């Protein structure tokens, strides 16, 4: 437990259980016994002069992109209750950041806030949820080989997740989850929690994939793969690249081969080349032919051309048909990001020889790179809102679930819009970069702590059995001493 040097006047005293001069924190199942002047294991609660205090301030959102944030949109609903409102541009939105938790389950949410928007009475229920059932979905923009699907992802030598599907120009990781947090060794749970907390709060984390690459991942930043900073997300697969740029190549080249780990494209065989009446070039490449001009498995996955092991692109040429090819034939081989390319001309023996790339071709290769978006790492926090969260809102939790499903209640996390999964429960995802800075915390059970807000009409709140006697006004919260007014970008 850490020392604390804070002014107790600025702190929010909450329900206190004492054992002599020790305060027993009940904000999570750990039940830290906190000595005077110290914080609990999570550094979120402190013993200040014999009272238990929430250390971090409550965050009120004020502005977003030049407009001010409001608690809810009664009309012209866009799906985000904290977007700018054309009439009321003064009200802040009370987030769950710094609010405290509902643990144990019988307690109402720390803040149940009433406000009025365009003549409509609204209620926002604000809390910090303790999420044992949570994880991160990480999207890494790269064609390079990260690791085989289902491979274990480790941090500091401990398993923290696994590789999932490869998407269009991206590799996906699934990190965390209750089985890593609580189903393995104590060290595995601690490392998993630390890794998730760092990523959720925007820090860089080093990961390793069994049988794959070493990664440095940070939300909103380019991934680093085996010490190489990724620059570009591919423009498309090899076939798509052929389709996009065939017209621009036409007349300047006799054959184009776009090397890609997934689908390698060959222009004169491809439908795009046929549509331009291009002459068959007779270059047969290795791999399994899918449809005309589209090849799978030209090489193993790797960090070379197009996310393959290829460093010499000529190795994928299986043979050149002398009945179709001709001396002087012009061939471009290029990767799906344009970072790798070579211009070839066939000699009298139909052997490809490197030559200087003509300016019109170099222009199109550069355009491939121009059409590649910057490679980024994207981190989504995903969690199931269950027990204490729902009972902190209503005495009959199933009504909250149904209200969310019926879109009578809108869910946000730290004021950021979330995606709520269909089906049972309240399972939501949020982009961590859309929350204010350091919005996530932890408890050493281990579990992550994340802000969550439920916003609805006041009469709907009463109908679902809400804690009506605990409603406070927005003005009283805004006047509350220990709060921080933040922008949507975290400033």
Question: What percentage of the chain carries pLDDT values higher than 70?
Answer: 88
Burial grade of 32 (CB within 10 A; 0-12, 13-18, 19 or more) = buried
d(CA 39, CA 209): 36
Mean pLDDT of 93-120: 84
pLDDT band at 387 (very low <50, low <70, confident <90, very high): confident
Question: Does position 5 have pLDDT exceeding 70, yes or no?
Answer: no
pLDDT band at 487 (very low <50, low <70, confident <90, very high): low
pLDDT band at 85 (very low <50, low <70, confident <90, very high): very low
Write down the pLDDT at residue 15.
Answer: 61
Contacts of 438 (CB under 8 A, 6+ apart): 201
Question: Does position 76 have pLDDT exceeding 90, yes or no?
Answer: no
Question: Does position 235 have pLDDT exceeding 50, yes or no?
Answer: yes
Looking at the whole model, is its pTM more than 0.75? yes
Lowest mean pLDDT among 80-94, 129-143, 187-201, 380-394: 80-94
Write down the pLDDT at residue 44.
Answer: 81
Question: Does position 482 have pLDDT exceeding 70, yes or no?
Answer: no
d(CA 245, CA 235): 11
Q: Which of 50-54, 67-71, 440-444 has the highest mean pLDDT?
A: 440-444
Give 325-378 pLDDT, tens digit per residue.
Answer: 999 999 999 999 999 999 999 999 999 999 999 999 999 999 999 999 999 999
The 3-state DSSP class for residue 450 equals strand
Question: Does position 388 have pLDDT exceeding 50, yes or no?
Answer: yes
Write down the pLDDT at residue 486.
Answer: 57
Contacts of 186 (CB under 8 A, 6+ apart): none
The 3-state DSSP class for residue 167 equals strand
pLDDT band at 200 (very low <50, low <70, confident <90, very high): very high
Write down the pLDDT at residue 479.
Answer: 64
Mean pLDDT of 65-94: 44
DSSP string across 60-103 = EE-EETTEEB-S--SSS--S-TTSB-SS-----EE-STTS---T
Tokens of 257: 């081969």
Write down the pLDDT at residue 57.
Answer: 80
Mean pLDDT of 227-238: 95
pLDDT band at 72 (very low <50, low <70, confident <90, very high): very low
Phi, psi dihedrals of residue 448, rounded to the nearest 5°: -90, 150
Write down the pLDDT at residue 476.
Answer: 79
Lowest mean pLDDT among 82-86, 100-104, 110-114, 183-187: 82-86
Write down the pLDDT at residue 302.
Answer: 92
pLDDT higher at 73 or 211: 211
Write down the pLDDT at residue 484.
Answer: 54
- 297-322 burial code (b ≥16 CB/10 A, e <16): ebbebbbbbbbbebeebeebbeebee
pLDDT band at 62 (very low <50, low <70, confident <90, very high): low
Write down the pLDDT at residue 10.
Answer: 33
Give 430-475 pLDDT, tens digit per residue.
Answer: 999 999 999 999 998 899 999 999 999 999 999 999 999 999 988 7
Write down the pLDDT at residue 86.
Answer: 33
Give 281-298 pLDDT, tens digit per residue.
Answer: 999 999 999 999 999 999
Place of tokens 């009940």: 26
Lowest mean pLDDT among 234-248, 340-354, 383-397: 383-397
Average pLDDT, the chain: 87
Mean pLDDT of 174-189: 96
Write down the pLDDT at residue 12.
Answer: 44
């Amino acid at each position: 437990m850490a020392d604390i040097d804070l002014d107790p006047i600025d702190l929010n005293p909450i329900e206190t259980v004492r054992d002599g001069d020790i305060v027993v924190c009940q904000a999570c199942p750990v039940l830290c016994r906190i000595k005077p002047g110290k914080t609990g294991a999570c550094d979120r609660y402190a013993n200040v002069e014999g009272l238990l205090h929430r250390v971090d301030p409550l965050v009120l959102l004020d502005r977003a992109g030049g407009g001010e944030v409001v608690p809810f949109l009664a009309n012209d609903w866009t799906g985000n209750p904290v977007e700018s409102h054309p009439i009321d541009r003064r009200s802040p939105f009370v987030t769950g950041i710094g609010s405290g938790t509902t643990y144990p389950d019988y307690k109402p949410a720390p803040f149940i806030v009433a406000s009025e928007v365009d003549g409509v009475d609204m209620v926002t229920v604000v809390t910090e949820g303790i999420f044992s059932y949570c994880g991160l979905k990480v999207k890494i923009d790269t064609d390079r080989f990260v690791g085989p699907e289902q491979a274990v992802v480790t941090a500091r030598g401990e398993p923290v997740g696994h590789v999932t599907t490869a998407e269009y120009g991206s590799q996906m990781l699934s990190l965390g989850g209750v089985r890593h947090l609580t189903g393995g060794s104590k060290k595995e749970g601690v490392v998993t929690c630390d890794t998730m907390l760092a990523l959720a709060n925007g820090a860089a984390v080093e990961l390793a994939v069994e049988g794959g690459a070493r990664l440095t991942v940070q939300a909103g930043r380019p991934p680093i793969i085996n010490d190489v900073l990724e620059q570009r997300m591919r423009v498309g697969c090899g076939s798509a690249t052929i389709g996009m740029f065939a017209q621009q190549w036409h007349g300047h080249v006799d054959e184009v081969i776009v090397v890609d780990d997934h689908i390698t494209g060959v222009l004169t065989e491809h439908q795009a080349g046929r549509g331009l009446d291009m002459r068959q070039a007779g270059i047969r490449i290795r791999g399994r032919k899918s449809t005309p001009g589209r090849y799978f498995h030209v090489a193993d996955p790797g960090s070379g051309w197009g996310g393959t092991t290829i460093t010499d692109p000529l190795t994928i040429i299986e043979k050149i048909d002398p009945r179709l090819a001709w001396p002087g034939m012009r061939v471009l081989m290029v990767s799906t990001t344009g970072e790798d390319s070579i211009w070839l001309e066939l000699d009298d023996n139909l052997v490809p020889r490197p030559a200087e790339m003509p300016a019109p071709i170099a222009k199109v290769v550069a355009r491939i790179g121009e059409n590649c978006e910057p490679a980024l790492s994207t981190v989504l926090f995903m969690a199931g809102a269950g027990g204490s969260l729902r009972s902190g809102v209503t005495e009959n939790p199933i009504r909250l679930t149904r209200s969310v499903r019926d879109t009578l209640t809108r869910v946000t996390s730290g004021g950021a819009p979330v995606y709520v999964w269909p089906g049972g429960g309240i399972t939501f995802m949020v982009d961590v970069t859309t929350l204010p800075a350091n919005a996530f915390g932890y408890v050493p059970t281990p579990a992550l702590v994340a802000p969550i807000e439920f916003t609805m009409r006041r009469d709907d709140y009463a109908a679902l059995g809400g804690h009506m006697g605990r409603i406070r006004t927005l003005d009283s919260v805004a006047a509350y001493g220990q709060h921080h007014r933040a922008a949507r970008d975290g400033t």
